[in-house]
Structure 1
Amino acid sequence: MKGIKNHYDASFKLRAVELSYERSNISELARELGIKASLLYKWRKDYQEYGSNSFPGKGNLKLTPEQERIVELERKLKDAELERDILKKGNQHFLQERSMKYRFIKNHECQFPIEKMCIILKIHSSSYYKWKNKGCSNRLLRKNLMLDKIKYLYFKFKQRYGSPRIHSELNALGYRISVKTVAKYMQELGLRSKLSKKFRVTTDSKHNYLTVNNLLNRDFYASKPSMKWVSDITYIQTQEGFLYLTTIIDLYDRKVIGWSLSNTMSTEDTTLSAWRMAIKNRSIKKGMLFHSDRGIQYASKKFANTLDSYGVIRSMSRKGNCWDNAVAESFFKSLKTEMIYGNKLITREKMKKQIFQYIEIWYNRNRRHKALNYKTIFEFNNNLQFLKNVA
C-alpha cells in the first residue's frame, strides 16, 4: 500500500547477502525477496567493508572500538581546524566588541556553522539571532560604515597613516568624526601606522673645511616661500649596495623642492645636484637661509662658494645634534618607515623608481602633513592663494 515503508532487520539483511553469494542471478533473488536489486547490492557492499557489523539498524554503520577512536580523533581534528580557520578569519583585534562579533558571524554564515562561531567567539547563539532579526541601529550602521572607510583608507595609503591623518582624510571626504573615535576604531581593527627604526649616521664632519653657526636655531617656521631651506643626506640599502639620497625642503610648505639620488657621496652628485633642481623649482633672493648638518658635502668650498654666489646665508647644526635639523630628519624617517622598512631589498634601478614615486607623487602631492594642519602641500598652497585672492 502506498505510504507504507518496509523495514528490514539485521538478520534479514545478513541472510539476503549470504544467499546472494550462492545465487548467480542477483536481480532474480531481489525480486523473490521483494526488494530492489540496487538495495541488495548496497547490502553486499556494506558487508564486504564492515562484515557482520554492517547492519546495526537505521542505516548507521557499526564501528569497532578502534574505528570509533579513529572517527572521534578525526572529528576533534576537524573541529580544531574549523576553530583555527574561524580565528584566523576573525583576527582577535577585529572582534573586541560584541557588535563586531555579530557582524563577523553574519558575514561568514555561508562559510562556517553559526553555532560553532558562537561557541568560539563566546557568545550565545540566541543573542546573535536576536541581534540579526532586530537589525542594525542607525548608530551601528554608521559605525560599520566608518570601520569600512578606515580600513579602506589605511590600506589605500599603504599602512602609512595613523589616526590623525586617517581623520583628516575622512573629513576631506565629508565624514564628521573625531580623531579620538578614529583612534578607537583603528585600535579595534588592529590597524596602526608602520613602526620606525633607528638610522645609521651618514654625516662625515671630520674635515678641515669651514663650518658656520646654527642661525636657524630650530625655528622651523617660514612665512613665505624660499625664506628657509633645509637639507640632509641619508643612505638607502639595495641589492647592489647603497644609494645616497640628498633632499632640500622649503620650510614654508615642507615640499621637497630639490633632491638627488646617487651611487657616490661626492659633493657634485649629492648637494650640488639637489641644489640645481631646487633653484629650477623655486626662485630665491639674497638673504635666504640654507640650513644643513656639518657634513663635508655641505662644508666643501665648491658648495659653499655656490651658495655665496646666490647671496644665500648658510646655517649648520651643532655637532652631533640631529634635532637642529629635525625637519630634514623627519622626512627621512617618514620615507624609510612608509616605503622601505619591511620590504625586500630591490635593485638600484627599482629603488630609484620607488623613491621618485614616493617624493613626487606621494609626499609632495598626496601625503597629509602634521605641520600643515594635516593638509596636503597642494591643499595648503591653494588655500593660502584663495585667502590672498579674497583679501
Structure 2
Amino acid sequence: MDVFSRKIVGHEVYETETGELAAELIQKACWREHLTDRHKPLILHSDNGSPMKAATFLEKLYDLGITPSYSRPRVSNDNAFAESAFKTLKYRPGFPADGFATLAEAQDWVQQFTEWYNHEHRHSALRYVTPSQRHNGEAKGILTQRREVFEAAKQRHPERWSGDIRKLSLPDVVHLNPERDSVPQAAGL
C-alpha cells in the first residue's frame, strides 16, 4: 500500500509465505506502478515475518533501490495504514465468515476488493476521493471543484451555515510514524 495515496499497489494470495513469492510481488508492483522510474527514495514498511527478512526478498529490495523498514516490537499501531485496510477488507460485504473454499476463490475475492478499494472506495482520510484519484494526482482538482461548490452554496444560503465550509485539502506529506514534536515535561522534573 502506498501510504501517501492509500492505494493498494500490489497484492497476491498464495497458500504459503516465502521470500521468493514476496520478492515476486514487489517486482510486479514496481513494474506495474513504474516505481523504478522515480527518483524519490522508496521505503517498504512490513512486519517482522520471515518472508520479509528472507535473503531473496532483501536482495530484490536492494536491486530495486527500496529500503526495508520493519514494525517495532510491541508497538500495536506501527503500521496503522495496513491494519486499517485489512479491517476494511474483513468487514466488506461479501467477505466469507467461514473462509474461502478454494485458493482461486480467495484470489478472485481479493482482486475484486482491490479494484473496489482503489477505484470506488471514497476514503474518509482522503476527504472522500478514491486512493487511485489521490495516487494519480486527480485529488487536488476534485477537491478544488468541491470547495467551489460548497462556497457557492454558502453564498446562496448563508443561513444554512454556522461556520466555515468543511476542510477540503489534503496534506502534501504523509508520515507512517510521525515523531512527536515535543513531549510536555512535568513541572520541576
TM interval, shorter chain, is: 0.5 to 0.7
Q: Supply the distance in 2 between the matched residues of 1:386 and 1:363 (Cα, whole angstroms).
A: 18
Q: Does 1:383 find its partner at 2:134?
A: no
Q: Deviations over 1:340-391 (max 9, x none)?
A: 254664332222211111112x11100111220122224433233679xxxx
In structure 2, stretches of 5+ residues that fail to align are 144-189
Q: Structure 1 residues 372, 263: closer, same or farther in 2, change over 3 A?
A: same
The structure with the greater share of residues assigned to strand is 1
Tell me the TM-score normalised to structure 1 length. Answer: 0.33
TM value normalised by structure 2: 0.64
1:328-367 matches, within 5 Å, as 328-338=82-92, 339-342=94-97, 345-360=100-115, 362-367=116-121
Instruction: Identify which range, 286-295 or 260-269, moves more after superposition.
Output: 286-295
Question: Residues 344 and 274 from structure 1, CA distance in 2 versus in 1: closer, same or farther, beyond 3 angstroms?
Answer: closer
- How many pairs align? 138
Pick from 266, 274, 289 the counterpart of residue 43 of structure 2: 289
**Contact persistence 2:13–2:107 (CA under 8 A):** yes
String of CA shifts for 1:158-192, please: whole Å, max 9, x gaps. xxxxxxxxxxxxxxxxxxxxxxxxxxxxxxxxxxx
Q: CA deviation at 1:273?
A: 2.6
Question: Structure 1 residue 318: deviation in Å?
Answer: 0.6
Instruction: Identify the residue that residue 278 of structure 1 maps to in structure 2.
Output: 29
- Partner amino acid for 1:350? E
CA distance in 1, matches of 2:126, 2:72: 27
> 1:316 corresponds to which residue?
70
Which residue identity is paired with 2:114? I
Per-residue deviation, residues 226-280 of structure 1 (Å, max 9, x unmatched): xxxxxxxxxxxxxxxxxxxxxxx111211011111111111222x2132022101
1:170-181 equivalent positions in 2, closer than 5 A: none
Mapping of residues 91-130 of structure 1, within 5 Å: none
- Answer whether contact 2:48 2:71 (CA < 8 A) is retained: yes
User: In structure 2, which of residues 2, 9, 22 is the aligned counterpart of residue 257 of structure 1?
Assistant: 9
Q: Are the equivalent residues in 2 in contact too, given 1:259–1:277 (CA < 8 A)?
A: no
| Offset at residue 293 of structure 1 (A) | 1.3
Larger Rg: 1
For 1:310, the aligned partner's letter is: L
- Runs of 4+ with deviation above 4 angstroms: none
Which AA in structure 2 matches 1:383? A
C-alpha separation between the residues in 2 aligned to 1:366 and 1:280? 23
CA 1:280/1:343 → structure 2, altered by over 3 Å: closer, same or farther?
same
> Take 2:114 and 2:25, find their aligned partners in 1: how far apart are those partners?
13
Question: In the superposition, relative to structure 1, how do residues 300 and 342 fare at CA in structure 2: closer, same or farther (>3 Å)?
Answer: closer
Q: Tell me, yes or no, if the aligned pair for 2:8 and 2:118 is still in contact at 8 Å.
A: yes
What CA deviation, in whole Å up to 9, does each residue of 1:179-223 have, x standing for no partner? xxxxxxxxxxxxxxxxxxxxxxxxxxxxxxxxxxxxxxxxxxxxx
C-alpha distance in 2 between matches for 1:275 and 1:344: 26
Question: Aligned in 2, Cα 1:378/1:313: closer, same or farther, shift over 3 Å?
Answer: closer
The whole-number CA distance in structure 1 between the counterparts of 2:60 and 2:40 is 13
Structure 1: unaligned runs, 5 residues or longer: 1-248
Higher relative contact order (CA 8 A, sep 6+): 2
Contact 1:365 1:376 in 2 (8 A): yes
Three-state SS of the structure 2 residue aligned to 1:332 is: helix
Q: Which residue of the other structure, out of 294, 297, 304, is the alignment partner of 2:58?
A: 304
Q: Which has the higher helix share?
A: 1
